[in-house]
Chains A and B, each alone.
Chain A
Amino acid sequence: MTIGDQIIPFSPVPDTELSAIAKQLRRDIVTMISTAGSGHPGGSLSAVEIITALYFKIMRHCPSEPGWIERDRFILSKGHAAPALYAALAESGYFPVSELATLRKLGSRLQGHADRTATPGVEMSSGSLGQGLSFGVGTALAAGLNNKKYRVYVLIGGGECNEGQVWEAAMSAYHFKLDNMVAFIDHNELQLDGTNHDIMNIEPLGEKWSAFGWHTIEIDGHNFNEILSSLEEAKNIKGQPTAIVAHTIKGKGISYMENKVEFHGKAPNPEETKKALQELA
């Protein structure tokens, strides 16, 4: 909200409301992907609690002023989870919730992968994996150079950690002592074609981030208490960035999608959508 020239940041919701918001985001995600007929439900659903905590509790941001210079930044590096981001942006007031139905449609601002030139609140156009953390390093460096207090949150997929650029960025964030930066790794143990373990073993993941100099915390990525306390902890860490390895479930919240790699990039059919919405009622 703005009053005159004054920016009034989004008011954090009480902790008790976060679960209900997460459920709403899940309904939005399923409905929009089903309406579009294509998209990536699995990795959108695994990130819901993290994104909910950031947009509704932790980040200082102002939906009516997406370009507010002081805002905390959320960078969705795993761009295929755009539906989760769109749901959070809509539900927090960046654009009307009704617009979610236009996902992947002609003329829509809501593309299959997010486009920062079109959609208010999107910090980075993404969709090609492995690049968001580097963008985060640039954004976090700029905070120091411009004397800004904002914090930078980047969400990376577990499979995305296969990309070499993630580790180049990890090395540089430590080198530049970016303590204003947090990387969430949405560690749902699946990628596109199977398990991380079968395709490209990324373990020991927490130890890797530690070895790269990051303050590393491992949490249950669906547990709000753990998400919030890890973010509090990160705020007090000085001289190094924080990595939060969030153990999550791909397709979380919808029984037949949970831990199913088939729902990495497949829309539910009408029957499946109905069932999903019943489960999320």
Chain B
Amino acid sequence: MKIADISMRDAFFDALYDIARQDDRVMLLTGDFGAPSLDKFRTDLSRQYINAGVAEQNMVTIAAGLALSGKIVYIYSIAPFVTLRCFEQIKLDLCCMKLHVTAVGVGAGYSYSTSGPTHHATEDAAVMRILPGMTVYNPSDNIMVAAFAGMSYRDPGPKYIRLDREKFPLRYEEKHDFSDGLALLKRGKDMTIIASGMMVHQAFKVTEELLKHSIDAAIVDLYRLSPVNDNLLLQVMGKNKPVVTLAEDLVAGGIGSIVAEVMADNGCQSRLKRLGTENQYVFQYASRECLHSHLGLDVASITTGILRWLQ
């Protein structure tokens, strides 16, 4: 199957599988999760695959022990369980000891729309990005996902990669260099939308709507949430252009906060509007589209919100 037709999870594990076949130091630990793309590990690379059970805290610290014994370790579960549930283990056992362990979380944002706040990942990226030494990737397409498998393998240090459950159109060319941490995907003279993950795709639809109102918006994909490439971010934002950040995540601490921090630290005076989930847990059970409407994150609401704010 073509890379555009598979899930982010499969794109990631297919790429990791190819790496792991070449290097038996690579280990994959899962917290009682399987997938067809994981079956290959289980069968062909059985010595590099461990199902650690429903015990995420234990899994993180086992990974630390493996990493200190020469392994390059990946741990995998649903996003909140592989981050929030074992946060202190990640802080102490991965970050303080600067270990080469990558947490892979599936279910970015409202991917698990009907499973409720236990499965929604709306603060995971925010808390992971504040950990010193932690690299946080929030990919928006499968080319990027596959590239992150290689980058996380090559670059030492703890990482968090957050995968969506949906398939998205490809936005990047094969062999794109993702070391910049962000990319200007569309130019626009009137304002800039900075988005991440699935919201990058929402941003494209929003810019089409805005164009009908003669607003030409740029789109920036901020795919590395930590460390942030401040200089490039300031450069692509342009001088004095209004900036809107767009994410499904809680507004506090998320990409809106990242951009606000960069602006404040650099004396940037542009107007900033942060869109995302306002200070609440979502108990509405519905498709992701319905949740977006409920939260004002559907294309129409985002567009009218931006138009009103610009006036």
- Over the window 95-128 of chain A, the binary record of Cβ atoms lying under 8 Å from chain B Cβ atoms (1 yes, 0 no) is 0000000011111101111010110000001111
List CB contacts (< 8 Å) of A149-191 with chain B.
159-160, 162-164, 191
Q: How far is the CA of A157 from the CA of B307 in the complex (A)?
A: 50
Per DSSP, chain A at the interface is loop
Q: How far is the CA of A172 from the CA of B52 in the complex (A)?
A: 25
| A130 lies within 8 A of B54 (CB) | yes
| A126 lies within 8 A of B114 (CB) | no
| B34 lies within 8 A of A194 (CB) | yes
Q: How large is the interface on A (under 10, 10 to 19, 20 to 34, 35 or more residues)?
A: 20 to 34
Residues of A within 8 A of B274 (CB): none
Residues of A within 8 A of B285 (CB): 103-106, 108, 110-112
- The 8 Å CB contact of B54, one of A105, A106, A162, is A162
- Given known A164-B58, A193-B51, A199-B53, contact A127–B283 (CB-CB < 8 A): no
Residues of A within 8 A of B117 (CB): 125, 127
User: Does B81 touch A at the CB level, under 8 Å?
Assistant: yes
Among B51, B85, B118, B119, the most chain A Cβ lie within 10 Å of the Cβ of B118
List CB contacts (< 8 Å) of B96-151 with chain A.
114-119
Residues of A within 8 A of B115 (CB): 112-113, 127
Q: How large is the interface on B (under 10, 10 to 19, 20 to 34, 35 or more residues)?
A: 20 to 34
User: Does B4 touch A at the CB level, under 8 Å?
Assistant: no
- Given known A111-B116, A164-B58, contact A192–B283 (CB-CB < 8 A): no
User: Does B57 touch A at the CB level, under 8 Å?
Assistant: yes
| B53 lies within 8 A of A128 (CB) | no
Residues of B within 8 A of A192 (CB): 32-34, 54
Among B33, B81, B114, B287, the most chain A Cβ lie within 10 Å of the Cβ of B114
| A115 lies within 8 A of B116 (CB) | yes
User: Does B304 touch A at the CB level, under 8 Å?
Assistant: no
| B114 lies within 8 A of A112 (CB) | yes
User: Does A36 touch B at the CB level, under 8 Å?
Assistant: yes
Q: How far is the CA of A126 from the CA of B114 in the complex (A)?
A: 14
| B118 lies within 8 A of A79 (CB) | yes
List CB contacts (< 8 Å) of B252-311 with chain A.
283-287, 290, 294
Residues of A at the B interface (CB closer than 8 Å) are 36, 38, 79, 103-108, 110-113, 115, 117-118, 125-130, 159-160, 162-164, 191-194, 198-200
- CB pairs A–B below 8 angstroms (24 shown): A36-B114, A104-B285, A104-B286, A106-B284, A106-B290, A111-B283, A113-B119, A115-B116, A115-B283, A127-B118, A127-B119, A128-B81, A129-B54, A130-B54, A163-B54, A164-B58, A191-B32, A192-B32, A192-B34, A193-B30, A193-B34, A194-B51, A199-B53, A200-B51
| A113-B115, A191-B53, A198-B51 known, 13 other contacts, Cβ within 8 Å | A79-B118, A105-B286, A106-B287, A115-B116, A127-B115, A159-B53, A162-B55, A163-B54, A164-B55, A192-B33, A192-B54, A193-B32, A199-B51
